[in-house]
A and B are shown apart, each in its own frame.
Chain A
Amino acid sequence: GAGVSQSPSNKVTEKGKDVELRCDPISGHTALYWYRQRLGQGLEFLIYFQGNSAPDKSGLPSDRFSAERTGESVSTLTIQRTQQEDSAVYLCASSSRPESLYEQYFGPGTRLTVT
């Protein structure tokens, strides 16, 4: 079946502009995660959604970052007033069960470049 999809695959934006990244999780997956991967570094957790529960935003680096999820479907990550340090690959993952510790399925990511 279809995996996690993300769009756009690449985004180049000017410093100070807002960007919106999209994630389509695997159908039926209730848990959705956003991570950031800076060049040469591991993934950093950003935010987690589970069903209709309040999201866990503990990984968001600043108030310029926000994310929404409509029910158990698509999620968007918004970065306002982008800075050069926001340049990274943004990865989305979904899971069928929140307590499933080994079932995070990752999308291909969106490569964001802030010039």
Chain B
Amino acid sequence: GEDVEQSLFLSVREGDSSVINCTYTDSSSTYLYWYKQEPGAGLQLLTYIFSNMDMKQDQRLTVLLNKKDKHLSLRIADTQTGDSAIYFCAESGAGLTGGGNKLTFGTGTQLKVEL
């Protein structure tokens, strides 16, 4: 079945770049996503990338996809204290009855931004 893995913790200094890594096993994934979860809040979709793309940039966020190695990364430039959260990598897995797609999530990476 599908499996998505991430490292559990990352600590960076404010103003530095953060790079959060993810590996996945399902080679048929069509979309890969990064979600952000702040304490007490629901998941917020940050960005996504289609599997035939290598890179996507959106303001301070850069997503890199190495489809051969099934490796996805999220780079946050000029990391701020407000970026402290848990970041989840997810891939769109099997289609569901009636349409729609099940998302398979990694365990999440806790990003801590220090002053």
Separation in Å of the A34 CB from the closest CB of chain B? 11
Q: How many pairs of A and B residues are in contact by the CB < 8 Å rule?
A: 89
User: In the complex, are the beta carbons of A31 and B100 less than 8 A apart?
Assistant: yes
Give the segment of B41-49, B65-73, B76-84 that binds chain A: B41-49
Residue from B4, B43, B99 within 8 A of A106 (CB atoms)? B43
CB-CB under 8 A from A56, the residues of chain B are: 96-98, 100, 102
If the complex has contacts A50-B98, A108-B42, are A43 and B105 also in contact, measured as CB distance less than 8 A?
A: yes
Q: Specify the chain B residue showing the minimal Cβ separation from A38.
A: B107
Separation in Å of the A60 CB from the closest CB of chain B? 13
Q: In whole angstroms, how far apart are the Cα atoms of A9 and B100 in the complex?
A: 26
Separation in Å of the A31 CB from the closest CB of chain B? 5
**In residues 58-114 of chain B, which contact A (Cβ within 8 Å)?**
88, 90, 92, 96-108
If the complex has contacts A42-B4, A102-B33, are A48 and B42 also in contact, measured as CB distance less than 8 A?
A: no
Q: In whole angstroms, how far apart are the Cα atoms of A56 and B40 in the complex?
A: 28
Q: In whole angstroms, how far apart are the Cα atoms of A103 and B101 in the complex?
A: 11
How many chain A residues touch B (Cβ–Cβ < 8 Å)?
A: 35
If the complex has contacts A56-B96, A58-B96, are A42 and B106 also in contact, measured as CB distance less than 8 A?
A: yes
Q: Is the interface of B mostly helix, strand, loop or mixed?
A: strand
Q: Specify the chain B residue showing the minimal Cβ separation from A43.
A: B105
Q: Does B30 make an interface contact (CB < 8 A)?
A: yes
If the complex has contacts A101-B31, A102-B48, A108-B42, are A45 and B103 also in contact, measured as CB distance less than 8 A?
A: yes
CB-CB under 8 A from A25, the residues of chain B are: none
CB-CB under 8 A from A43, the residues of chain B are: 43, 88, 90, 103, 105
12 further A-B contacts with Cβ under 8 Å, apart from A50-B100, A101-B92, A109-B42, are: A33-B100, A35-B103, A40-B107, A41-B108, A42-B4, A43-B88, A48-B97, A50-B96, A99-B99, A101-B30, A106-B43, A107-B42
| 8 residue pairs bridging A and B, Cβ less than 8 Å apart | A35-B103, A43-B105, A55-B97, A56-B102, A98-B98, A104-B45, A106-B43, A108-B40
